[in-house]
């Protein structure tokens, strides 16, 4: 999920200062996702220098680490990939003698499907994939995926959908009345027909569109909550809708690699980001929630009551953790996806 635009270089440059360091830790993370201030603070406190390298998709990261010889210590995959990393032995269990802040993980984020008890991973950030709408163009109910799949006239030709197959499929399947990763062919046929006819009304399937939404190039779209918030801070007319038929929740978690060169430093860093104050720095930078207890009080004012993060309980309840689909299901979805994008 490339929800972080293309400005990762800034973070990289900020971390490459010539400071004497007692050691290093090599972080392999999503682009434009790591707060430079966080890294400065870590270095000041521990003397350990952090090098950040960007990736732009879960598949890229997994393929590169599987090859070996990468030199990274920490990786931050999404929930649907976390178990693959664990099952393939690419990551090691957390060293609880160093990760003493393990108890700071918010209770609802401890016993997660992808890593029960959090033996291997700690929360980095989490968010949702929903609908962005320009309320000056569309006046109706925004908590509705139909805006995208069966767009009203005023939105036709003004929609951007993130080219993230699994997210878009999940929202479409929920809207068609199915469960994520379903093999119910009646549902999938509906999904296929719906997507093919909806695409005629989509203007683009593009990633880094915060500015384009803010400038009014698009009037609606499927988008991530944090990215929507960044756009809304530039343009007050933008709002984030939570499709009541269902929408995906995701979480990226930090893990230590099995072939890490600096395992101890990596564990120290993992422990560091579980401090509420430090977790808040991550969120203040990328605008997503983090899953660490007590971090809210250190967050920017605009984050604390942001409608993209805090919503009415009945809207929050429609969110579902997107599981990783089996190869068979993924294959079916990518055939439909190819038909949509042909």
Partner 1 sequence: MKRDSHRWKWILVSPALLVLILAASGPLLIVAVYSFLSPGNMGGVAWDFSTDAWFRVFFKRDIFEPENVTLNADHLAVFQRTIWLSLQTTVICAALGFPTAWFIATRPANRRMIWLFLITVPFWTNLLIRTFAIQEMIRNTGTLNTALLWLGVIGEPIEMMYTDFAVLLGMSYVFLPLMVLPLYAAMDKLDFRLVEAGYDLYASRFQVLRHVILPLVKPGFIAGSILVFIPSIGAYVTPRVLGGGRSMMMGNLIGLQFGQGRNWPLGSALAMVLLVIVVVALVFYLRITTRETGGRDGQS
Under the criterion CB under 8 A, does residue 234 sit at the interface with partner 1? no
Nearest C-alpha neighbor of 329 from the set 165, 175, 112? 165
Under the criterion CB under 8 A, does residue 206 sit at the interface with partner 1? yes
Q: Which stretch binds partner 1 (CB under 8 A): 45-53, 58-66, 92-100, 138-146?
A: 58-66
For the record, the structure tokens of 120 come out as: 């291997």
Task: Find the shortest distance in angstroms from Cβ 335 to partner 1.
Answer: 6
Under the criterion CB under 8 A, does residue 215 sit at the interface with partner 1? yes
Give the residue, chosen from 46, 79, 129, 166, that forms a contact with partner 1 under the rule CB under 8 A. Answer: 166
Q: Which is nearer to partner 1, 21 or 187 (CB)?
A: 187
Q: Which stretch binds partner 1 (CB under 8 A): 116-124, 135-143, 213-221, 222-230?
A: 213-221
Stated length of the chain: 342
Q: Which is nearer to partner 1, 161 or 306 (CB)?
A: 161
Under the criterion CB under 8 A, does residue 32 sit at the interface with partner 1? no
Task: Find the shortest distance in angstroms from Cβ 340 to partner 1.
Answer: 9
Q: By rule CB under 8 A, what string of x and - marks binding of each residue 169-188 to partner 1?
A: ----------------x--x
Q: Which stretch binds partner 1 (CB under 8 A): 17-25, 120-128, 146-154, 164-172?
A: 164-172
For the record, the structure tokens of 282 come out as: 């991550």
Q: Which stretch binds partner 1 (CB under 8 A): 95-103, 127-135, 158-166, 289-297?
A: 158-166
Q: Which is nearer to partner 1, 83 or 245 (CB)?
A: 83
Binding stretches for partner 1 (CB under 8 A): 57, 59-60, 62-63, 66, 81, 84, 160, 163-166, 185, 188-189, 192, 199, 202-206, 212, 215-217, 324, 327, 330-332, 334-339, 341-342
């Amino acid at each position: 999920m490339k929800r972080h635009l293309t400005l990762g270089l800034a973070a990289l440059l900020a971390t490459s200062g010539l400071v004497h360091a007692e050691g290093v830790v090599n972080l392999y993370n999503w682009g434009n996702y790591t707060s430079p201030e966080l890294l400065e603070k870590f270095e000041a406190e521990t003397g350990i220098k952090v090098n950040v390298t960007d990736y732009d998709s879960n598949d890229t990261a997994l393929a590169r680490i599987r090859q070996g010889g990468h030199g990274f210590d920490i990786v931050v995959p999404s929930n649907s990939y976390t178990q693959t990393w664990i099952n393939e032995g690419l990551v090691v269990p957390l060293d609880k003698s160093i990760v003493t802040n393990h108890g700071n993980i918010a209770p609802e984020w401890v016993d997660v499907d992808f890593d029960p008890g959090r033996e291997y991973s700690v929360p980095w950030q989490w968010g949702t994939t929903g609908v962005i709408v320009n309320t000056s163009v569309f006046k109706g109910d925004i908590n509705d995926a139909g805006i995208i799949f069966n767009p009203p006239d005023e939105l036709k030709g003004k929609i951007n959908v993130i080219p993230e197959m699994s997210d878009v499929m999940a929202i479409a399947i929920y809207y068609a009345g199915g469960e994520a990763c379903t093999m119910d062919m009646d549902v999938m046929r509906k999904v296929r027909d719906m997507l093919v006819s909806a695409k005629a009304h989509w203007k683009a399937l593009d990633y880094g569109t915060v500015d384009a939404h803010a400038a009014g190039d698009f009037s609606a779209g499927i988008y991530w909550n944090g990215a929507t918030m960044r756009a809304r801070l530039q343009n007050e007319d933008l709002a984030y809708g939570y499709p009541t038929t269902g929408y995906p929740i995701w979480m990226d978690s930090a893990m230590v690699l099995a072939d890490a060169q600096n395992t101890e430093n990596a564990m120290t860093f993992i422990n560091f980001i579980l401090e509420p104050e430090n977790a808040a720095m991550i969120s203040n930078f990328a605008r997503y929630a983090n899953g660490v207890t007590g971090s809210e009080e250190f967050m920017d004012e605009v984050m604390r009551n942001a409608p993209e993060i805090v919503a009415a309980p009945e809207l929050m309840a429609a969110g579902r953790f997107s599981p990783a689909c089996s190869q068979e299901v993924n294959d079916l979805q990518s055939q439909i996806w190819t038909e949509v994008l042909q």
